[in-house]
Structure 1
Amino acid sequence: MWSYMHLISWAAIIVLTLVAWFSYPKNTRLFTILQMVNRVFYVTVIVSGIMMIQYSIETSWVLAILKILLGITTIGVVEMLLSYRKKQKRSLSFWVLFLILIIATISLGFYLSGGRPLF
């Protein structure tokens, strides 16, 4: 159950980040709402991640700690990406970092979970 919640929350964070990014110049109120909803999903990701940590540590405690750090860093980059958008600053480096971190976090997460919940 926790793995589904974790996976759905990460998918929601990615989608909400993209929608918020593209909606900002047109609708600042929607941007703020999406940013707040995104933060609720951060809490969901953190809680579900804490609940699943025991299974990741069984596989490899070093990789589990790396996954935790990657997840927290990804959340921080999403926050920076949205705050730079709100300030209308250039954020190409945060986009690149966001893509790299998302790929690394998801890959490591599926490795530690043995491919669950997808396989």
Structure 2
Amino acid sequence: MIHAHLTAMVLALVLFFIVISLQSQGKKTKVLQMVLRTSYVLIIITGLMMFFSLYNITFLYILKAVAGVAVIGLFEMIIAWKEKGKDTGPFWIALAVVFAAVVLLGMMLPLGMKYL
């Protein structure tokens, strides 16, 4: 399940940057946004499956889940505000911080890879 979760996350990240770049060029991105939202559903489903398969759910797992949902929310906020022509600078900073927290928590926790 971890591989499916990581694959959905990488797919969402790639699609997010494609949507942002196409928006910068002034092109329509509705179809890609719907595919991106489908990848969000896959991320949430696989994340919940891993979360509820844990024997011991600690605070760090809950924090990682909340931060993961925040990353998805920030993706959507950046896309929506960029489409309206508003400043997205603070959202990019928040996305960098929260995404780094999710990655670090993912590597630190027992289900993650042993890099740290």
For normalisation by structure 2, the TM-score amounts to 0.88
Q: What is the CA–CA distance in structure 2 between the aligned matches of 1:46 and 1:107, rounded to whole Å? A: 18
Aligned partner (choices 88, 103, 106) of residue 91 of structure 1? 88
The answer on 1:65 being equivalent to 2:99 is no
Instruction: Name the structure where helix makes up a greater proportion of residues.
Output: 1
Identity %: 29
Distance 1:57 1:82, change over 3 A: farther
2:47 to 34, 46, 49: 49
The one-letter amino acid paired with 1:66 is L
Change (3 A) 1:89 1:69: same
In the TM superposition, what is the alpha-carbon distance from 1:66 to its structure 2 partner?
0.3
Relative contact order (alpha carbons < 8 A, sep ≥ 6): 1 or 2 greater?
Answer: 1
Q: Where has structure 1 moved over 2 Å in runs of 4 or more?
A: 25-29, 54-58
Q: Which stretches in structure 1 are left out of the alignment for 5+ residues?
A: none
- Number of residue pairs matched by the alignment: 114
The alpha-carbon deviation at position 54 of structure 1 amounts to: 3.8
AA at the equivalent of 1:50 = L
Given the two structures, how large is their TM-score scaled by the length of structure 1? 0.86
Rounded Cα–Cα distance in structure 1 between residues aligned with 2:52 and 2:6 = 17
Q: Name the CA distance, whole Å, in 2 between partners of 1:66 and 1:57.
A: 17
